[in-house]
């Protein structure tokens, strides 16, 4: 795959991250509509009862409600062919209910990794691993 295509994929991911870091659900929804394929295969530890772009929108609505100041720092990317691997650091303050856990006001910092596959310039597949255990421990809800 030409270097220009690799650059386009990483630039698309960076633009998507800028949108999710806006904290504005309308901006995030528009970015999902623009950057994510309608039939995206979204596999991550987020039981939202939906699939495709709708699942992503629900995830971000829950995250913004729980952590209004959430920030996803794109720490590192590796691009090969139609795939981009991204290592992120997520930070935020727990100000909304999270899976039954009342707001604690505590700050969280945890890692996540995603592999994205692109088709025709859009995210067609999204697979992620999120360190939810670290987040729960920081909120006082996980095992020590």
Q: Does 143 fall in a domain?
A: no
Q: Which pLDDT belongs to residue 44?
A: 78
Q: What is the pLDDT of residues 27-77, one digit of tens each?
A: 999 999 999 999 999 887 666 677 889 989 999 999 999 999 999 999 999
For the chain, give the longest Cα–Cα distance: 49
Q: Does 36 fall in a domain?
A: yes
Neighbouring C-beta atoms of residue 139, cutoff 10 Å: 19
Rg (CA), the chain: 15
Q: Does 105 fall in a domain?
A: yes
Q: Which pLDDT belongs to residue 50?
A: 75
Q: Which domain holds residue 81?
A: 3-138
Alpha carbons within 13 A on the beta-carbon side of 86: 24
Number of domains in the chain: 1
Say if residue 117's pLDDT is above 70: yes
Three-state DSSP at 7 gives helix
Contact 74, 59 (CB under 8 A): no
CATH code at 131? 3.10.450.50
Q: Does 144 fall in a domain?
A: no
Q: What percent of the chain has pLDDT over 70?
A: 92
- φ, ψ at 17 (rounded to 5°): -60, -40
Q: Which pLDDT belongs to residue 47?
A: 61
Three-state DSSP at 24 gives coil
pTM listed for this prediction: 0.90
Q: Does 111 fall in a domain?
A: yes
Residues whose CB is less than 8 angstroms from the CB of residue 140 and which lie 6 or more positions away in sequence, other chains included? 104, 106
- φ, ψ at 95 (rounded to 5°): -115, 0
């Amino acid at each position: 795959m030409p270097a220009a295509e690799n650059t386009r994929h990483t630039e698309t991911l960076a633009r998507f991250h800028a949108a999710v870091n806006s904290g504005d659900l309308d901006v995030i929804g528009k970015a999902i509509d623009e950057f994510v394929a309608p039939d995206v295969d979204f596999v991550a530890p987020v039981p939202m009862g939906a699939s495709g772009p709708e699942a992503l929108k629900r995830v971000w609505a829950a995250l913004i409600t729980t952590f209004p100041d959430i920030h996803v720092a794109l720490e590192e990317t590796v691009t090969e062919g139609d795939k981009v691997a991204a290592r992120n650091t997520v930070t935020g303050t727990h100000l909304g209910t999270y899976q039954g856990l009342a707001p604690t006001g505590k700050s969280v910092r945890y890692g996540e990794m995603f592999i994205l596959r692109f088709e025709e310039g859009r995210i067609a597949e999204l697979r992620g691993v999120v360190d939810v255990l670290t987040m729960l421990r920081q909120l006082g809800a996980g095992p020590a």
